A and B are shown apart, each in its own frame.
Chain A
Amino acid sequence: MQEQDPIEEHYRKAFSGFEPPPPEQAWDKIRAKLHPAKADKGRMSGLKNSLLTYSRSGRIYPLLAVAAMVLLFILIWYSYSNKHNIRGHAYAGETRMCMGTAYLFKVYDKAKPYDTVLLVQSAPVDDKGFYQFHGIAHGNYMIRINPQPGTEVTRNFIPSFYDQDSASSEANVIHIDSEDPTVDVHLLPK
């Protein structure tokens, strides 16, 4: 029987269970060649085109993506939590006004009414004299009520700001801070 060479014997033993860890990116490269369309789709789907959430190799950074989602949620929550509603009734004398339009103006500087008062919202006044503005941010506002043209109210009352003022320069400013205010507007008689 032929004697076994020590080099052969040693190499055979040493490499019989030789299983080094394969290169890290090898599978990604193989997959990209086997499924080119899926590889591209994988890179571009989800939060696609968001450069902040993708590494150079196209792999998503999960923590960064979660952080971005949380930040977005906080921004949305903050933006909604700082919004208010303004509601109230319009009165023509002692009775509630029937039909018309309520206007909400944002006041930046009451001293310069023409340059710094901006219409931000309008709302219908219903047949019970009720109106409501939604999603109003913090700040100073003025409200004006216009009765519906052709109705009996227009014969006896004029469009008026809160509280019973015909001109914006004389109107009362409503400050919106932390609560949803109720503002009843009384029309100014002719």
Chain B
Amino acid sequence: MTITAEVFDQCLQNEPRAQEALYQAYASRMYGLCLRYTGSRMEAEDILQEGFIKVFQHLTSVHSKEHLDGWICKIMINTALTHYTNQLKFKNDESINFDTFDTTISEDALSKLSYKELLRILQGIPAGYRTIFNLYVIDGFNHKEIGEILGIAESTSKSQLRKAKITMKKILTRIL
């Protein structure tokens, strides 16, 4: 869902009705994103509100309407990451050799789960694991980009992703 150039221009002029139209166009998608990055609905709602306030306050920095989609997504992700700054601790824990764990799971088993259950599993893992899983798997960033975003080494991003999947598999095994 997108907005017209007229609505975009009116948003730049701080017009409330246009702002509501923009919000309606992106709210569902952004709320889905917020739910993925957070541990609960309440936190997701807080991030959604905070993110949209930032969107409207800094909309003039978007060069054109065509860049709006990606820009809003980045704002939301950054808002979620800022929200979890204190909780995001990425340690390269050498005491456990995660390579010995098998992260594979059958597709049949996964297909039995609804997206609500999948979301619950994602929300149930630590914030650091969840963030990297979201950034890499769903939002399509590579490990180098994730390293730059989070200020960590590329290898740390890779190991955190692996740990995230192992943790998720453990939960899945318990459920299935």
Chain B residues 11-61 with CB under 8 Å of chain A are 14, 16, 19-20, 23-24, 27-32, 35-36, 41, 45, 48-49, 52-53, 56-57
- Give the contact stretch, choosing among A21-29, A46-54, A104-112: A21-29
> When the two chains form their complex, are residues A20 and B32 in contact, meaning their CB atoms are under 8 A apart?
yes
Task: Say yes or no: A23-B31 contact (C-beta < 8 A), given A11-B122, A14-B115.
Answer: yes
Task: Say yes or no: A15-B29 contact (C-beta < 8 A), given A29-B49, A30-B23, A30-B52.
Answer: no
Chain A residues 1-55 with CB under 8 Å of chain B are 5-12, 14-16, 18-23, 26-27, 29-31, 33-35, 38
Contact-residue size bin, chain B (C-beta under 8 Å from the other chain) = 35 or more
User: In the assembled complex, which residues on chain B have CB atoms less than 8 Å from the CB atom of A18?
Assistant: 29, 32, 35-36, 115, 119
> When the two chains form their complex, are residues A23 and B137 in contact, meaning their CB atoms are under 8 A apart?
no
With A and B bound together, what is the CA distance between A22 and B33 in angstroms?
A: 11
- Total number of A residues with any Cβ neighbor in B under 8 Å: 26
With A and B bound together, what is the CA distance between A19 and B118 in angstroms?
A: 14
Instruction: Determine the main DSSP class of B at the interface with A.
Output: helix
Nearest-Cβ distance from residue A30 to partner chain B, whole angstroms: 5
Nearest-Cβ distance from residue A32 to partner chain B, whole angstroms: 10
List the B residue with the shortest CB-CB distance to A9. Answer: B107
Task: Say yes or no: A10-B20 contact (C-beta < 8 A), given A20-B35, A22-B28.
Answer: no
User: In the assembled complex, which residues on chain B have CB atoms less than 8 Å from the CB atom of A11?
Assistant: 118, 122, 133, 137-138
Q: Verify if B111 is at the interface (C-beta below 8 Å from A).
A: yes
User: In the assembled complex, which residues on chain A have CB atoms less than 8 Å from the CB atom of B23?
Assistant: 27, 30
> When the two chains form their complex, are residues A15 and B105 in contact, meaning their CB atoms are under 8 A apart?
no
User: In the assembled complex, which residues on chain A have CB atoms less than 8 Å from the CB atom of B165?
Assistant: 5, 7-8
Task: Say yes or no: A26-B49 contact (C-beta < 8 A), given A19-B29, A21-B28.
Answer: yes
User: In the assembled complex, which residues on chain B have CB atoms less than 8 Å from the CB atom of A6?
Assistant: 104-107, 110
User: In the assembled complex, which residues on chain A have CB atoms less than 8 Å from the CB atom of B119?
Assistant: 18
Instruction: Determine the main DSSP class of A at the interface with B.
Output: helix
Nearest-Cβ distance from residue B103 to partner chain A, whole angstroms: 7
Q: Verify if B76 is at the interface (C-beta below 8 Å from A).
A: no
Chain B residues 102-126 with CB under 8 Å of chain A are 103-107, 110-111, 115, 118-119, 122
Chain B residues near A (Cβ < 8 Å)? 14, 16, 19-20, 23-24, 27-32, 35-36, 41, 45, 48-49, 52-53, 56-57, 103-107, 110-111, 115, 118-119, 122, 133, 137-138, 165, 168-169, 172
Chain A residues near B (Cβ < 8 Å)? 5-12, 14-16, 18-23, 26-27, 29-31, 33-35, 38
Can you sample 14 A-B contacts with CB below 8 Å?
A: A5-B104, A7-B169, A8-B137, A14-B118, A19-B28, A20-B35, A26-B27, A26-B45, A30-B23, A30-B52, A30-B56, A34-B16, A34-B56, A35-B16
